[in-house]
Amino acid sequence: MPIDPKTYVLVHVLLSLVGVFSGLVVVGGLIAGVRFPRWTGLFLITTLLTSVTGFGFPFAALLPSHIVGALSLVVLLGATAALYWKHLSGGWRRTFAVLSVLAL
């Protein structure tokens, strides 16, 4: 590991905390019918980075955390597609809402 393990864990945890906090803001906005584009971008990127950095820990076998991380990446891909590629048109708005809550 090219970075100190304690620093790596700290970065991973901080990304996770920012992702959870910004995700709560986004979900609150969804409930209130208000869009927060910057908060949404922050939520998606920090949650994505949390999932990606989770694969950087040393491991010898496939663990449940790897399965959850992989599923999280798929969910985040769907939410990102709904928001940025499909622009929340039609059923993509509901898809985004469901996937965002699921990613949280």
The per-residue pLDDT for range 28-82, each reduced to its tens digit, is 999 999 999 999 999 999 999 999 999 999 889 999 999 999 999 999 999 999 9
CA atoms within 13 A on the CB side of 81: 10
* Backbone φ, ψ for residue 62 (5° rounding): -70, 125
pLDDT reported for residue 59: 87
* Backbone φ, ψ for residue 86 (5° rounding): -100, -5
C-alpha pair distances (Å), 30 with each of 3, 6, 58, 85: 38, 36, 37, 19
Range in 2-6, 82-86, 87-91 the model is least confident about: 2-6
- Residue 8 DSSP SS3: helix
CA atoms within 13 A on the CB side of 89: 4
Distance between CA 84 and CA 27 in Å, rounded?
17
Tokens for 59, please give them.
């491991």
Residue ranges per domain, the chain? 5-103
SS3 content of the chain, % helix, strand, coil (to 5): 75, 0, 25
pLDDT band at 2 (very low <50, low <70, confident <90, very high): confident
